[in-house]
Structure 1
Amino acid sequence: MSYKTLVTVLDNPDNTRIAADFAAAFAKEYGAHIVGLHAEIISTVPLVAPMEIPDPVAVQALQDVAHSQAVEIERLFRTKMEGAGLDYEWRSFTSTVGYGTEPLIESARSADLLVAVQPDPAKYSDNQVDVETFLFDSGRPVLLIPYILRTPKPVRRVLIAWNGSKEAARATFDALPFLKAADSVEILSVSTSERETHPSKESGVQIAAALTRHGVRAKFETAACTGKSTPSQVIENRLADNSIDLLVMGAYTHSWLWQMIFGGTTRTLLQSMTAMTLLAR
């Protein structure tokens, strides 16, 4: 198994530079075809009182801004791909609903892997990619690049956050090309206290054995939360202590709204990303 079609989700010029660099590096390693995917989003239109009709000047201004950004994103993407001598194509769609529009999701479904950049919380805009939409609707794994990570580097050390769920299993096998190329792969099961047993221990041992048969250097480990620490903090510490390049985890569903999208542990880890994260559900 290898990644042969990468769809790179490009939402703004800054993220395009990062996403294009990482996608180009992966494409060279796996001999992949790259699709640059962009939604030219028409933002919410201001209404003019008292009749509350759209202001035509504002409508045109918003359209001009969206199109100008789309042109710049396409230029950056094509320049990077052509400079690297890669096989690529460009797909752009005009949308009023963002990255949840059906043509974009259909394009995503043809990918082995989606590549996107974590939104910078200090630079929110209507153009930010809806990672959760791709996770829920595309059925494809998403590789999320931290916005603080500017330069691609080889994936040498991988951590799999394991809880025995179908989401974790899917993410693990979706990450197989990365796992096979890595120097070390740790499968980590975290219990919420030192007294709690690890219900996923047996399946963790089994998944480690399955990966080993694929030629992956995998080992299974357990850890427990101590004091007031949480599973996400235990995983974060492991990422830092072991200089992890890639975190692999399922996107879990627990409660309504935001947690319905990502789950508590997943949400916390995504807000403080220090390593590339491959997500699947």
Structure 2
Amino acid sequence: MDYQNILVHLDASKAMSQRVEAALYVSKRFNARLTGLFNVFQPAVEPLSMITKPPEYRYASEMLRAEYQEAEESMFRKALARTGIDGDWNFSRLPPNLVMPRAARLADLVIAGQYDQDDRESFIADQFIENLILSCGRPVLVVPYAGRFPEIGGTVCVAWDGSREASRAVHDALPFLVQARKVVVFSINASSAEIDAPRIDGSQIAAAVAQHGANVVIEEIDGVRDISNGNLLLSRAADFGADMIVMGCYGHARWRELFLGGVTRTILKSMTVPVLMSH
């Protein structure tokens, strides 16, 4: 089982080069075809803005986006040629929260970038990453904006809580898991008051993954009062030497706003290694 068709989201952010290198690494590892889709923030044209801003402003903004697009296409095509990876380039000027999930549904794996609040070009659309993960129906590998990742999936930390989302993430990540040197199935034991039904424990999912040939170990700890489960997961993943985390993404839509679980929010905000998320 491998990923044959990978989609990477391209934009004009400062972290783009690291994301492309991560996508090239994963594509090379699985001998997959890599498609780059350039899709950036598209400002709405409101009547008031047309009155208060001269036409030259909108023209300059469009020219700048065109320059970004041309530069990213050149960079991406050169990267494909340099690595010998089969792939293609595409772009869309339609709203990202519509375009990216639709394109992602045709891919085996989607690679996108973490939002960086200090980089204005990192803003693609309201709740872009959250919307992509929750609506595309495919696993999304989110690459942090800070750091470089020469290896992804050598040591994998699986965040396990027995849920549907966690199970989906584990099975979506199997191509990584069977090739990893070590897979750590990490569970945070809930208190008796938090348990509303028996759950599949870490040893059971570890056995299921091991049947595919993965090298799996189990780590279970009790929750810690002074640290959130999200931060505890990040801390233990670092202790394991993990270069990748696999986890379910928890959330739902209410009207026009997405509501995410606490661990999901923490990881999306504070991730230190690439995280494969499924919903």
TM-score for both structures, normalised by structure 1 = 0.88
CA distance, structure 2, for counterparts of residue 94 and residue 85 of structure 1 = 28
Q: Distance in 2 between matches of 1:236 and 1:134?
A: 22
* Displacement after TM superposition at 1:43 (Å): 2.0
Q: Give the Cα separation in 1 of the matches to 2:257 and 2:220.
A: 25
Structure 1: how far apart are the matches of 2:213 and 2:256?
37
Using the TM superposition, give the Cα deviation of residue 15 of structure 1 relative to its aligned residue in structure 2, in angstroms.
3.0
Letter in 2 for 1:78: R
Cα deviation digits, residues 217-272 of structure 1 (max 9, x gap): 12333211223222112212201211111110010127969994431111112211
Looking at structure 2, the residues matched to 186 and 126 of structure 1 have their Cα atoms a distance apart, in angstroms, of 32
Q: What secondary structure does 1:101 align onto?
A: helix
Is residue 12–residue 69 contact of structure 1 (8 Å, CA) maintained in 2?
yes
CA distance in 2, matches of 1:34, 1:247: 22
Shift of 1:207: 1.1
Offset from partner CA, 1:93-149 (integer Å, 9 cap, x none): 112x3x1124x4332111110011212221134753621222122111100111112
Q: Does 1:213 align with 2:223?
A: no
Rounded to whole Å, the distance in 1 between the matches of 2:194 and 2:53 is: 59
Show the counterpart of 1:115: 111
Residues 51-100 of structure 1, C-alpha deviation per residue, up to 9 Å, x if partnerless?
948742222122111111111111111111111111011110112x3x11
- Taking the aligned partners of 1:151 and 1:275, their CA distance within structure 2 comes to 8
Q: What residue is the counterpart of 1:73 in the other structure?
A: 72
Alignment map for 1:228-239 (pairs within 5 Å): 228-239=226-237
RMSD of aligned alpha carbons:
2.7
Could you say if the C-alpha distance between residues 80 and 14 of structure 1 is closer, same or farther in structure 2, counting changes exceeding 3 Å? farther
Q: Tell me what 1:17 maps to.
A: 17
Q: Does 1:190 align with 2:185?
A: no
Pairing 1:235-254 to 2, within 5 Å after superposition: 235-253=233-251
Contact 1:45-1:55 within 8 A present in 2 as well: no
Aligned residues: 277
Instruction: Give the residue type in structure 2 aligned to 1:116.
Output: A
Identical pairs, percent: 31
Conservation of the 8 A alpha-carbon contact between 2:190 and 2:222:
yes
In structure 2, what is the equivalent of residue 37 of structure 1?
37
What are the ranges of 5 or more consecutive residues in structure 2 without an aligned counterpart?
none
Give the stretch that moved more between structures: 200-209 or 25-34.
200-209
TM-score (norm 2): 0.88
| Corresponding residue of 1:131 | 129
In the TM superposition, what whole-angstrom CA distance separates every residue of 1:193-234 from its partner, at most 9, and x where no partner exists? 599779666442221111111001123332112232221122
Measure, in 1, the Cα distance between the counterparts of 2:4 and 2:264: 27
- Asked if 1 retains the 8 angstrom alpha-carbon contact of 2:115 and 2:122, the reply is no
Quote the residue 2:7 is aligned against: 7
Work out whether residues 32 and 87 of structure 1, in 8 Å CA contact, stay in contact via their aligned partners in 2.
Answer: yes
